Amino acid sequence: MATNSTSIEASQPASVYVREATRASHERVGSAQGARWLAGGQLAKEEYAHYLVLLWHVYDELERSLAAHANDPVIRPVYVPAIFSRADHVAADIGFLLNTATAEGAWRAHPMVAGILAAPPQVLIEYTARIKYLCAEHPRLLVAHAYARYLGDLSGGQIIRKNVAKAYGLDREDGDGLQLYAFRALNRDAPASANEVKVLKEFWRERLDGAVGGDVELKVALAEESKLAFVLNEGLLSTLKGPAYECVYVPGRGAYNIVRGGASSNKSVKTLVVLASIIGAAGLAHYLYGGGRGQ
């Protein structure tokens, strides 16, 4: 399968072209340490909320930028804020997870959030600066950032949702704290079921294909910008601090190591290693891991 945008058949619809062009980028971000902590529900609850605060800034910038260009013929078809916009959803999750007052925007006063606002991580500055730049100079490329976030939330996000719910004791029925992953169905005013989420993905891809049509230059530019979006997301994930304890399977040794974490995900985890067991000791490892996370 081709992974280099220059070797992908240019006549492919934009959604296929971009997916193929970003395959390697997705594999890299998906296997990053921070992504594995996130997807496995291994982050401490406040660290997960911290990540959501970073994401809120990205969605806020992106969605205000898309709104500013809502009449552009390439943006208009894929800009359906009532279904896809995430900033308000993420804000609701942050408020719920940090247990802040329900008044709109109260979560911003939380000390952790105030800390991020006072000194945003460099990668967040770069991410929002890129969106601002595109908004001013190349608004159509904002579509690449919408692609990376929205299709990601509709895809891997649905898997992450299950583990996040389990890790933080969130009720999957009422959805409090899980709004990031909750989409409204396309044709009815109700939450989308798993099948309807697939319909939304197809809808977004078809809209993208229609908007880009046979414009090869635009397809290539969107693919390149999407790769950058993945890199920026990898950067956000690299700021995450690991769980207090982590259970790491060591291939070849048939063993689980219990690793004392708390390391930033862009460093190799410095081990304070206890060799927990050899084959068959997964139960003990899980027990220790669960205790360390207070589940």
* Distance linking the first and last C-alpha atoms of the chain: 42
For residue 118, the minimal CB distance to ligand HEM (Å) is 26
What whole-number distance in Å separates Cα of residue 55 and Cα of residue 38? 13
Tokens found for residue 288:
């220790």
Tally the C-alpha atoms within 13 A of residue 122's C-alpha that lie toward its C-beta.
2
35 binds ligand HEM (CB under 6 A): yes
Residues between 79 and 118 that touch ligand HEM (CB under 6 A): none
Select 21 or 276, whichever has its Cβ closest to ligand HEM: 21
Cα-based distances in Å from 288 to 222, 260, 268: 46, 11, 22
Q: Are 19 and 143 in contact (CB under 8 A)?
A: no
| Cβ nearer to ligand HEM, comparing 32 with 276 | 32
38 is an interface residue for ligand HEM by CB under 6 A: yes
Site size toward ligand HEM, by CB under 6 A: 18
- How far apart are alpha carbons 117 and 115 in whole angstroms? 5
The contact mask relative to ligand HEM for 150-189 (x = CB under 6 A, - = no) is: -xx--xx--xx-----------------------------
6 or 31: CB nearest ligand HEM: 31
Q: Amino acid identity of 157?
A: G
Is there binding between residue 230 and ligand HEM (CB under 6 A)?
A: yes
* Selected range binding ligand HEM among 107-115, 147-155, 164-172, 174-182, rule: CB under 6 A: 147-155
Contact 178, 164 (CB under 8 A): yes
Note the residues at the interface with ligand HEM (CB under 6 A): 19, 26, 29-30, 35, 38-39, 147-149, 151-152, 155-156, 159-160, 230, 233
